[in-house]
Amino acid sequence: MARPVEPELRGARLRLVEILREKGISDISVLRAFEMTPRHQFVPTGVRHRAYEDAPLPIGSSQTISQPFIHATYLQLLKLTGHERVLEVGTGSGYQTVLLAHLAAQVFTIERISALYQSARDNIQRAGVNNVSMLLGDGTVGWSAYAPYDAILVGAGGPSVPQPLLDQLAEGGRMIIPVGERDEQKLWMYTKRGGEVTSQELAAVRFVPLLGHHGWSADQA
Ligand code: SAM
């Protein structure tokens, strides 16, 4: 599925993996996905020298690539086994998409900003994964054509949980989503069992706004 790890900046990448391990990420397949994914190829040239810091970075269009520790926490919580069909809302740079592609069977990702969608497509192609499908549009309505999903990751914070995403979650499926105010949210995990959905609050977080039909109004962006 993936090409061999390219040697460029491998040392920096291994140091990032070590930082994630020290912060409590212990899932070997998650750490391996970080080792295989060249984050410097997903950020603009102006911030490339900071690509392996454990920090969020600007990716253009007023958006950010999240802190690696946040991505790693999401991925560790999902406990993916390699067999899952995953929906990601908010492709951004495509970095987390590629991490997911290393950990799941099929990844479906949606981005609403055309410029980011185009550059993420190039980034994902360059990473050499072939199990990703992309859509330009409003991820708050999900992607019903390929539902249900074993896992759903939302990379932007909304005022509430979009009902279409809950509807598109498979039996036994898990969704991680930031919910709250525009500039401050709580990270929640929703699990569907026996048709019932239960929720668990995980942490305080700060994500860019989830804009769309079941999110914040794009007029207020
Ligand atoms: N995980 C991404 C990465 O690795 O680069 C970063 C995601 S960034 C924090 C959040 C993204 O969600 C932005 O690119 C933003 O445009 C996108 N977004 C916000 N609302 C959306 C919506 N309704 N549908 C799809 N994408 C959305």
Pocket residue to mutate for ligand 1, from 40, 87, 89, 168, most atoms within 8 A of Cβ: 89
pLDDT class of 218 with cuts at 50, 70, 90: confident
pLDDT class of 3 with cuts at 50, 70, 90: low
CATH (domain of 102)? 3.40.50.150
Checking if the pLDDT of 1 tops 70, the result is: no
Checking if the pLDDT of 14 tops 90, the result is: yes
Percent of the chain with pLDDT over 90: 93
At residue 219, the pLDDT reads: 74
Task: Quickly list DSSP for 27-39.
Answer: -HHHHHHHHHS-G
**Sign of the alpha-carbon dihedral angle for 140, 219, 178, 79:** positive
- 190 close to 174: Cβ distance less than 8 angstroms: yes
Closest ligand 1 atom number to CA of residue 90: 12
At residue 211, the pLDDT reads: 97
> What pairs with residue 152 in β-bridges?
87, 175
Query: Does residue 211 form part of some domain?
Result: no
Active site residue 66: yes
What does the pLDDT average to over 65-76? Answer: 95
Q: How far apart are the first and last CA of the chain?
A: 38
Pick from 217, 210, 5: which is nearest to 127 by CA?
Answer: 5
pLDDT class of 6 with cuts at 50, 70, 90: low
Query: Does residue 219 form part of some domain?
Result: no
At residue 5, the pLDDT reads: 47
Q: Is the CB of 41 under 6 A from ligand 1?
A: no
- What is the C-alpha separation between 98 and 93, in angstroms, rounded? 10
Please give the C-alpha separations between residue 18 and each of 7, 78, 214, in angstroms, as whole numbers. 17, 21, 38
Domain limits for position 14? 10-205
Closest ligand 1 atom number to CA of residue 71: 1
- Total domain count, the chain: 1
Pocket residue to mutate for ligand 1, from 113, 136, 143, most atoms within 8 A of Cβ: 113
Query: Does residue 129 form part of some domain?
Result: yes
Q: At a CB cut-off of 8 Å and minimum separation 6, what does 54 contact?
A: 16, 19, 20, 23, 67, 68, 69
* Residue burial 124-160, b: 16+ Cβ < 10 Å; e: rest: beebebebbebbeebbbbbbeeebbbbbbbbbbbbbe
pLDDT digits (tens, 9 = 90+) for 78-115: 999 999 999 999 999 999 999 999 999 999 999 999 99
Query: Does residue 169 form part of some domain?
Result: yes
Query: Does residue 31 form part of some domain?
Result: yes
- 184 close to 168: Cβ distance less than 8 angstroms: no
At residue 205, the pLDDT reads: 93
Of all helices (H) and strands (E), which one includes residue 102? helix 95-103
